A and B are shown apart, each in its own frame.
Chain A
């Protein structure tokens, strides 16, 4: 054994998944080193919409989302920092009878998973949420969902993990990962070597580059969310709002932060590059969003957009993440490719992965997310998508 840092668990990638896993692994007494190419929570974890939403998710993901929601509720106490989690409620809206039927069906299907949703329509919906536009026919209200600040959450996990004894190595790009004897070895671009008994790859859009080194490539592609924010106005839009639709151009979601700004996103995804580390908002997408957002809340037409942004999110063909143990190598674990819906899951993913790594099992079902489903995949490079 020659030189380098050694720990029980080596985490590659410091987004919210990696940072929360580091925190929860420390709670379970494991020594942890987390290596991040840039800064903690800088990519998808820091640039997403900030939804802490369970309704509308792939149903088998709800146990994980519920576990995560419970952690969000005590996040400040756990981390000693405020990530601006606001359990403001989440309202999923429909323009058409067909979509109203679908969200109603979802409400029935979600109940066995412990997610209680309230169906509202007509005057009841309008009396309760008078700001909604005339096109809205129905809504599904999830009272315990809400939103948080993505710019703060992952860095707060990272600092809490560090205070709890994790070694957080920022600005270090891992180029090679491999097995060495019975353990794992990672080497950074600047030649530093890290070793551990177990490894967790939480490298988001760059996850496939690492998994392929262990013979498990996955068909990951990257896109940029198209985000924007208005100038601040007095706080009044309580629930997070989102449209349930099958038309991509119609997708829009928005939330008002306590400070008053309204954050929104949706529509056609934009270009992103895992190579250049850049993602862009297309001007036509911003204009498209402006035409949609006033359909939900017409009063927003009086506001101005002050800033747009994007980030690098990773997607898989079946729109669900990779999470769980490697199908080939004992001691190796993955949690990446969260397909634009990972922020809410972040704390739960960290908790579940820590449990899995520390005990060999987890009480939360995650089988649908196994990397084994891509066992025959040959695609291994994240591609840029226009």
Chain B
């Protein structure tokens, strides 16, 4: 058999470890990455000329970040690395890219998608004001640009990233007014047995909590978001929440970091026609995979946070496993012992992932309870009330129907930011189970595609 053509999408922890496993087996993969440099989101490398230390950039994870970057430097001569390549579509065994305005095509025998995650967002009244960022966006500003999203920042939502970014902002010298977590503290305590699957990581988490307590910022858990206050010109002016005690409290600020843990960037898997399945625990659809990352489509493998939110360490393991699966399916022999060890570690990662999901649950009820006047779809400016009306009065009891009638999820982000909340609203309005309400079908392009690309002859 000729040299197999294996493509990896994403140069984060999953993609780099997949590349490493392939190179070890004598294969030279193509590594397509949207970023300027390797590292993905979590180990995002600062632009050339920036001089912060790994400890400043990655905190407790500096060692792992350095290890991954070094692995990548060693691999570079042995792979076909294509940075600044957005994979905007995949069809008929070909990944379609756009790079600096030029379209490209990459045919594959096996495709490993390690596209990472984005923030799982839940609308709140006023979230369309300038100055509201996702937690991921807030963190990119800090890591890549060495700047903060505002002078006085409130972090609102839930999940490990909420706490991490709040602490990173504090350490970087920004004024963090408050950390407002929708998850009640007992949920975190109850999740401890599962979180103890990774004692080291649990300890790191506790240190972050300790750092937050010592920082002096206001910390409230079990809050209910009420409104982000703001004006069209000035943007954000404050955040109001109902505290666990029932008291409504306002925090003045000029920026908000918002996020409810993460959701997989599964658009490419969707375009590749991978089957999705409903996960009742996290209340979302995600691609089906086997223990090694095989999707339902032969030759397509899914790894990292782009399929299950296990974090960077889990991503490294799942990337290596997906590469092993691809090699095996292409008829290469894969040594058993190291793979058995990886699978054992993957099970630990999965148990920890469940623990995190339980400690910081998606607050589905908040979506269902959003007021009619709140903007739901920021791209298209559609309110919660418009979606509810379509669901109740026009029979839109399925999300794609609701999209067709209201435009929710039709804009630039294709429902990344409003899709999960929209589904909760439709389910609550119609009395249908969330699973039956379904998921928004992904469409190309994965991200907006410049028309000017058509002027370039491929």
CB neighbours of B448 from chain A (8 A): 231, 304-306
CB neighbours of A159 from chain B (8 A): 394
CB neighbours of B453 from chain A (8 A): 287, 290
Chain A interface: which of B23-31, B182-190, B214-222, B408-416?
B408-416
Residue among A288, A293, A300, A305 with most chain B CB within 10 A? A305
Given A280-B91, A308-B444, answer yes or no on A300-B103 (Cβ-Cβ < 8 Å): no
Q: Report A79 CB to chain B, min CB distance, Å.
A: 13
Residue ranges of A at the interface with B (Cβ–Cβ < 8 Å): 39, 42, 46, 151-152, 155, 159, 170, 230-231, 259, 280-283, 286-294, 300-309
Q: Report B241 CB to chain A, min CB distance, Å.
A: 33
List B residues 390-433 near A (Cβ within 8 Å). 394-395, 398, 401, 404-405, 410-412, 414
Q: Report B287 CB to chain A, min CB distance, Å.
A: 17
B443 within 8 A of A: yes
Contact call A291/B450, Cβ cutoff below 8 A: no
Q: Report B414 CB to chain A, min CB distance, Å.
A: 6
Nearest residue in A to B94 (C-beta to C-beta)? A283
Q: Report B10 CB to chain A, min CB distance, Å.
A: 19
Contact call A302/B452, Cβ cutoff below 8 A: yes
Question: A293: which of B394, B405, B451 is its contact (CB, 8 Å)?
Answer: B451
CB neighbours of A302 from chain B (8 A): 451-452
Contact call A291/B455, Cβ cutoff below 8 A: yes
CB neighbours of B449 from chain A (8 A): 286, 290, 304-305
Contact with A along B433-457 (1 / 0, CB 8 A): 0000000000111001111111100
Q: Report A260 CB to chain B, min CB distance, Å.
A: 11
Sorted nearest first, the 7 A-B pairs with minimum C-beta distance are A290-B454, A304-B448, A291-B454, A283-B89, A151-B404, A283-B96, A301-B452
Q: Report B436 CB to chain A, min CB distance, Å.
A: 12
Interface size on B, residues (CB 8 A): 30
Q: How far is the CA of A170 from the CA of B455 in the complex (A)?
A: 45
B77 within 8 A of A: no
Nearest residue in A to B448 (C-beta to C-beta)? A304
Contact call B103/A281, Cβ cutoff below 8 A: no
Nearest residue in B to A297 (C-beta to C-beta)? B451
Q: Report A364 CB to chain B, min CB distance, Å.
A: 30
Contact call B443/A309, Cβ cutoff below 8 A: yes
Contact with A along B58-96 (1 / 0, CB 8 A): 000000000000000000000000000000110110101
Nearest residue in A to B403 (C-beta to C-beta)? A151
Question: B444: which of A281, A288, A293 is its contact (CB, 8 Å)?
Answer: A281
CB neighbours of A280 from chain B (8 A): 91
CB neighbours of A309 from chain B (8 A): 443
CB neighbours of B455 from chain A (8 A): 290-291, 294, 301
Nearest residue in A to B445 (C-beta to C-beta)? A305
Contact call A151/B405, Cβ cutoff below 8 A: yes
Contact call B414/A304, Cβ cutoff below 8 A: no
CB neighbours of A283 from chain B (8 A): 88-89, 91, 94, 96, 444
16 CB-based A-B contacts, threshold 8 Å: A39-B395, A39-B401, A231-B448, A282-B91, A283-B89, A283-B96, A283-B444, A286-B89, A286-B444, A287-B454, A290-B453, A294-B451, A304-B450, A304-B451, A305-B451, A306-B412
Q: Report B16 CB to chain A, min CB distance, Å.
A: 27
Contact call A231/B454, Cβ cutoff below 8 A: no
In the complex, given contacts A281-B444, A287-B453, what are 7 additional A-B residue pairs having Cβ atoms less than 8 angstroms apart? A42-B404, A282-B92, A283-B94, A289-B454, A301-B455, A305-B450, A307-B444
Q: Report A126 CB to chain B, min CB distance, Å.
A: 22
Nearest residue in A to B409 (C-beta to C-beta)? A307
Q: How far is the CA of A308 from the CA of B449 in the complex (A)?
A: 10
Q: How far is the CA of A308 from the CA of B458 in the complex (A)?
A: 20
Residue among A155, A303, A307 with most chain B CB within 10 A? A307
Q: Report A213 CB to chain B, min CB distance, Å.
A: 29
CB neighbours of A42 from chain B (8 A): 401, 404
Q: How far is the CA of A292 from the CA of B458 in the complex (A)?
A: 15
Q: How far is the CA of A191 from the CA of B453 in the complex (A)?
A: 52
Q: Report A134 CB to chain B, min CB distance, Å.
A: 15
Contact call A292/B454, Cβ cutoff below 8 A: yes
CB neighbours of A292 from chain B (8 A): 454
Question: B443: which of A151, A304, A308 is its contact (CB, 8 Å)?
Answer: A308
CB neighbours of B96 from chain A (8 A): 283, 287
Nearest residue in A to B442 (C-beta to C-beta)? A307
Contact call B394/A155, Cβ cutoff below 8 A: yes
Q: Report B430 CB to chain A, min CB distance, Å.
A: 14
Q: Report B268 CB to chain A, min CB distance, Å.
A: 12
CB neighbours of A155 from chain B (8 A): 394, 405
Contact with A along B256-290 (1 / 0, CB 8 A): 00000000000000000000000000000000000
Question: B458: which of A231, A281, A287, A304 is its contact (CB, 8 Å)?
Answer: A287
Q: How far is the CA of A205 from the CA of B351 in the complex (A)?
A: 48
